[in-house]
A and B are shown apart, each in its own frame.
Chain A
Amino acid sequence: MKYFMFVVEDPTAEPYVPEEDNIGAWVEEMTARGVNQKGDRLRPASEAKTVRIRSGETLITDGPFTESREVIAGYDILECADLDEAIEVASKHPMARFGRIEIRPFWIWE
């Protein structure tokens, strides 16, 4: 089953400890297991553009689609057996500790 993983910054998370950042090991393990299909860090939210068309006019604003303390810092597309495996994979990502992770099942468009 496919899951979309949002890697999110969270000001209430634990302080960052560079020596305990295991992102390299996480990518290596999840790639070897065939779980991680694609993923990337994203440029900071301050560089996001949000596009809305209202009354025929194109409105482009700087920043993400919603104002919140938590902002999306990256994403991964996972292929997992079930939600339990997706949770296990997410919990091992360094940003589960230094931020938070959302996982959402795909809803394949027929």
Chain B
Amino acid sequence: MEYLMFVVVDPTGEPSDESPEAWVEELDAAGTRLHGDRLRPIEDATTVRVRNGEVIVTDGPFTESKEWIAGYDLLECDSLEEAVAAAAKHPMARAGAVEVRAAWPIDLGDSPESSPAREAAQ
């Protein structure tokens, strides 16, 4: 099962300059990490909304917060517990925070019943 991991900058984190390289190597070797990367800082984020048929483009992330997503990793794990254990080993768990979310694939044959918008509406 796939789990998406958000690597988060959190000002309450403990100062560290540990690179995630060893973590990446270990999880890649175990076949746990499918891929992942760093993202440009939130200054480079663009938020897109459509309201009354008009496309509204603004600079900045989807929400204002002290914590922000700096990267992601996609993991293949047997359980949420395994994904959480993998996340806890990432150096940013100490220097920031790591959020783990299970993938919930949409069956497009069922669309739109299973779409994210419908889930949000319920």
Contacts and interface: CB of A to CB of B under 8 A. Distances in A.
Interface of B is mostly: mixed
Interface string A86-110: 1100110011111111111111110
A41 B40 contact: no
Given A66-B67, A75-B4, A21 B44 contact: no
Interface residues of B, number: 65
Contacts of B44: 104-105
A13 B70 CA distance: 26
Interface in A53-88: 53-55, 58, 60, 64-66, 68-70, 72-75, 83, 86-87
Interface of A: 2, 4, 6-10, 13-16, 18, 21, 23-24, 27, 38, 40-45, 47-55, 58, 60, 64-66, 68-70, 72-75, 83, 86-87, 90-91, 94-109
